[in-house]
């Protein structure tokens, strides 16, 4: 019993600093670009739905507004095509910010697995984190389309902050269960555990985790800021597009 309590204390000492921090985006400044209308992306076409339910569809070979094909000259079509492709390429990159949490968790688990000399012991933690972020993706990816509602970017920063906090809870819960199982197995083995050596290993691991957190915190904030900047560029491109195709005035996607 004493050994079990001691092993729990040693594991807990590793997590004085949380493994996944809600403050990962602390250096990120809120984006001043937001969505004015609802946006649907399927990788090829773009559909914009205004607040009254009217629809504009950017197709590969034209523009359809409320079911009516809008004639475009060559220049208008080229600008529309470029904007359509950019939206389909750039908007979904929001997932890269969220997926940074998965990468961070896996890097930490690699270090932990090495310390415990057991590469498979924490696979359930990896799977739990992967499942967690797969559910998050469903927030924006529905029936084969990316769907973003008005004001999506204004909410996205708060969502990311909460997502990282929730991921931390999932990680810690699953990790403690796995780490305790590993230690129980070692306690039951003939060799047992050198608790002095284990304490040193956990302290070294704690330092390594804290360094990764610091490094990735800046990296994740940078990705979030880059994403915001790319949305600003799209907003500028949209402004030029609307000037060239006045029929799109009521379907402007971005607010600045």
Q: Which tens digits make up the pLDDT trace of 22-73?
A: 444 555 556 788 899 999 999 999 999 999 999 999 999 899 999 999 999 9
* Interatomic CA distance for residues 33 and 36, integer angstroms: 10
pTM over 0.85: no
> Mapping DSSP to helix (H, G, I), strand (E, B) and coil, where does residue 104 land?
helix
Sign, Cα dihedral of 45, 50, 55, 56: negative
> Mapping DSSP to helix (H, G, I), strand (E, B) and coil, where does residue 255 land?
strand
Nearest CA among 226, 232, 220 for reference residue 160:
220
Beta strands per DSSP E along 84-226: 141-142, 145-148
Q: pLDDT-derived band of residue 193, with 50, 70 and 90 as boundaries?
A: low
Q: Which tens digits make up the pLDDT trace of 66-118?
A: 999 999 999 999 999 999 999 999 998 888 877 777 787 788 778 777 776 76
Give pLDDT, residue 151.
85
- How large is the C-alpha radius of gyration of the chain? 24
* Mean pLDDT, residues 137-163: 78
> Residues with Cβ < 8 Å from 141, sequence gap 6 or more?
147
* Interatomic CA distance for residues 80 and 237, integer angstroms: 10
pLDDT at 18 over 70: no
2 burial (CB, 10 Å; 0-12 / 13-18 / 19+) is exposed
Q: Beta-carbon neighbour count of residue 29 at 10 Å? A: 11
Q: Which two tokens stand for residue 182?
A: 């590993």
């Amino acid at each position: 019993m004493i050994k079990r309590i001691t092993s729990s204390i040693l594991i807990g000492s590793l997590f004085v600093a949380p493994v996944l921090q809600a403050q990962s985006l602390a250096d990120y400044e809120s984006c001043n670009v937001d969505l004015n209308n609802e946006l649907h992306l399927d990788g090829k076409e773009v559909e914009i739905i205004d607040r009254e339910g009217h629809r504009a569809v950017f197709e590969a070979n034209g523009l359809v507004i409320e079911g009516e094909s809008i004639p475009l000259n060559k220049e208008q079509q080229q600008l529309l095509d470029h904007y359509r492709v950019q939206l389909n390429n750039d908007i979904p990159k929001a997932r890269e910010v969220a997926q940074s949490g998965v990468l961070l968790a896996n890097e930490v688990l690699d270090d932990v697995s090495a310390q415990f000399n057991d590469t498979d012991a924490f696979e359930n933690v990896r799977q739990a984190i992967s499942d967690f972020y797969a559910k998050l993706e469903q927030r924006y990816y529905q029936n084969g389309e990316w769907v973003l509602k008005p004001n999506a970017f204004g909410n996205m920063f708060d969502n990311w902050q909460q997502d990282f906090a929730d991921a931390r809870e999932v990680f810690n819960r699953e990790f403690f269960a796995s780490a305790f199982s590993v230690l129980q197995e070692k306690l039951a083995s003939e060799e047992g555990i050198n608790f002095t050596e284990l304490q040193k290993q956990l302290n070294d691991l704690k330092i390594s985790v804290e360094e990764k957190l610091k490094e990735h915190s800046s990296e994740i904030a940078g990705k979030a800021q880059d994403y915001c900047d790319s949305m600003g560029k799209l907003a500028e491109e949209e402004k030029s597009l609307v000037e060239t195709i006045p029929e799109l005035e009521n379907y402007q996607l971005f607010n600045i």
